[in-house]
């Protein structure tokens, strides 16, 4: 029962904050902080007392039920960490935006939806939570209500709906081939007798589901929404969309492939090869586009397209080492990219800077922000001892030992090229910020610039600490996860 309370609490209380007339901003912030802390406590309690809760039964197979296994607990931890950091950061940032109460209302609904994604015990429950996560984050993209934000929000919605329908088609097919209960279990629950003679159709349906749920994760060819929506949304929403909302697609793919179908069914097939090709193409394309992009948030958005596909490539290996590399990359990317988007928000509210060429010399004005940007960049590139280094090492090692044929060489090679491109589009920002050159002249009034406040700095620093801890102890944590 505690799982149900845990994810419904932020949905209900967050909705009330948007309805009730809490006109005093300080009181509203205090209420939101209390909701966030209580949600964290409920989330921790649900991980400790992880009993199964069945809410509603449509048919003998279509059930709304929730249960936390180790995969769910790990994903839930990532959700709570990033949402907590973004919540406290937003108290300062949203003072510069209109309709902050509405932002926080949808923020908490999205939090509850993502918690439900992690807690789902079957694909029907996960699908409902997955759709709620989409519907609650669309208003975040629409927040500024400009022509550009409306276009971006609709594009996000249409792509997400198309991807979700593809995922639902795969779920229908998988359920029709089930043997016994359809609750998640490692190795899957398909009946070999039901798919006998329909193996190619089964592979095609699974691939449709992977591409559909991969839409949320920005995998080619359904990636187009991500570089459009991220730059338009407020920085806290961009951090959530990139850092954790995209991971709803990752969780759905893990559950579909490993806990409904079984990796053995896909291993060595054309479907696995297509999946690996799409993931590697997305990695290379995203890195290349980010390298060429001059707008900071759009550069980070294309970077997300690339970095999240590291996770998808790791999953496509269909090995346990691949899953563990995926989970480590999930937490590393969540913390580092979340921090980078929060830093980009500071550039906007303090300097009004949106482009890379406007950030030269800002290390003097915003030292804490730029140090956090640098540390998060080190992790994203894959520099030891940061989490990004350990996760990419594990993914490359898993590919070398478990990838079929030429992918054992091509996969790690593309990961290396992507890492070099990542260094090429992140490190120059840091270098120019701290070392603008002798010919650089600081503008008038620049000495008046200052860090936006303790909560903003604390949020970014906390995410940097998580990225570091992912490198120091992350491998041990994911190694102990029971699949």
User: 405-422 pLDDT, tens per residue?
Assistant: 899 999 999 999 999 999
Residue in this structure with the two tokens 């949020």, named with its chain if needed: 459
Rounded to an integer, what distance in angstroms lies between the CA atom of residue 156 and that of residue 149? Answer: 10
* pTM (whole model) above 0.85: yes
Rounded to an integer, what distance in angstroms lies between the CA atom of residue 347 and that of residue 149? Answer: 20
Q: Which of 280, 306, 308 is nearest to 292 (CA)?
A: 306
Residue in this structure with the two tokens 């994810």, named with its chain if needed: 7
- For 141-296, list the strands marked E by DSSP: none
Q: Which of 43, 52, 48 is nearest to 6 (CA)?
A: 43
Banded pLDDT at 215 (limits 50, 70, 90): very high
Give whichever of 93-102, 145-154, 352-361, 471-480 has the largest mean pLDDT: 471-480
| DSSP labels, 196-213 | TT-HHHHHHHHHHHHHHH
Banded pLDDT at 116 (limits 50, 70, 90): very high
Rounded to an integer, what distance in angstroms lies between the CA atom of residue 227 and that of residue 308? Answer: 13
380 CB-contact burial (10 Å; exposed 0-12 / middle 13-18 / buried 19+): buried
Rounded to an integer, what distance in angstroms lies between the CA atom of residue 357 and that of residue 370? Answer: 15
Banded pLDDT at 440 (limits 50, 70, 90): low
User: For residue 459, what pLDDT is reported?
Assistant: 95
Q: Could you give the percent of the chain with pLDDT greater than 90? A: 66
9-67 pLDDT, tens digit per residue, is: 999 998 888 887 766 778 888 999 999 999 999 999 999 987 888 888 887 778 889 99
444 CB-contact burial (10 Å; exposed 0-12 / middle 13-18 / buried 19+): exposed
| pLDDT of 353 strictly over 90 | no
Query: What is the pLDDT averaged over residues 95-102?
Result: 83
User: For residue 465, what pLDDT is reported?
Assistant: 97
**265 contacts: CB under 8 Å, gap ≥ 6:** 188, 190, 202, 203, 206
266-300 pLDDT, tens digit per residue, is: 999 999 999 999 999 999 999 999 999 999 999 99
Banded pLDDT at 379 (limits 50, 70, 90): very high
């Amino acid at each position: 029962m505690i799982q149900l309370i845990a994810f419904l609490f932020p949905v209900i209380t967050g909705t009330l904050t948007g309805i009730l007339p809490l006109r005093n901003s300080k009181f509203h912030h205090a209420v939101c902080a209390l909701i966030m802390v209580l949600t964290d406590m409920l989330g921790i309690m649900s991980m400790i007392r992880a009993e199964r809760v069945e809410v509603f039964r449509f048919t003998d197979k279509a059930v709304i039920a929730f249960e936390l296994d180790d995969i769910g607990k790990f994903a839930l931890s990532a959700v709570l960490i990033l949402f907590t950091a973004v919540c406290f950061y937003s108290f300062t940032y949203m003072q510069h935006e209109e309709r902050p109460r509405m932002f926080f209302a949808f923020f908490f609904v999205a939090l509850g939806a993502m918690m439900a994604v992690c807690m789902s015990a079957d694909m029907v429950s996960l699908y409902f939570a997955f759709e709620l996560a989409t519907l609650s984050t669309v208003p975040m993209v629409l927040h500024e209500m400009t022509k550009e934000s409306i276009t971006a929000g609709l594009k996000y919605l249409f792509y997400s709906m198309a991807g979700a329908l593809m995922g639902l088609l795969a779920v229908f097919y998988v359920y029709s081939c089930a043997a016994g209960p359809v609750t998640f279990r490692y190795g899957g629950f398909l009946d070999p007798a039901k798919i006998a003679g329909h193996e190619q159709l089964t592979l095609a349906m699974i691939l449709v589901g992977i591409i559909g749920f991969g839409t949320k994760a920005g995998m080619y060819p359904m990636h187009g929404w991500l570089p459009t929506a991220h730059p338009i949304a407020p920085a806290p929403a961009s951090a959530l969309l990139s850092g954790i909302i995209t991971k709803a697609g990752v969780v759905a793919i893990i559950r579909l492939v490993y806990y409904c179908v079984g990796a053995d069914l896909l291993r060595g097939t054309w479907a696995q090869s297509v999946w690996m090709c799409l993931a590697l193409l997305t990695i290379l394309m995203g890195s290349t586009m980010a390298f060429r992009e001059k707008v900071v948030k759009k550069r980070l958005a294309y970077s997300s397209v690339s970095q999240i596909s590291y996770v998808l490539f790791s999953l496509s290996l269909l090995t346990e080492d691949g899953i563990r590399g995926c989970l480590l990359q999930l937490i590393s990317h969540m913390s580092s990219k979340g921090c980078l988007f929060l830093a980009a928000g500071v550039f906007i509210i303090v300097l009004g800077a949106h482009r890379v060429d406007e950030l030269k010399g800002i290390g003097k004005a915003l030292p804490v922000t730029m140090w956090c940007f640098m540390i998060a960049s080190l992790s994203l590139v894959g520099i030891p001892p940061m989490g990004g280094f350990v996760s990419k090492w594990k993914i490359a090692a898993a590919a070398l030992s478990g990838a079929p044929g030429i992918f054992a060489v091509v996969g790690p090679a593309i990961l290396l090229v992507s890492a070099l491109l990542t260094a090429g589009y992140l490190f120059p920002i840091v270098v120019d910020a701290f070392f603008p050159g002798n010919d650089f002249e600081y503008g008038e009034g620049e000495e008046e610039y200052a860090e936006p406040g303790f909560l903003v700095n604390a949020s970014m620093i906390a995410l940097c600490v998580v990225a570091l801890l992912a490198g120091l102890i992350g491998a041990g944590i994911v190694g102990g996860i029971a699949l």
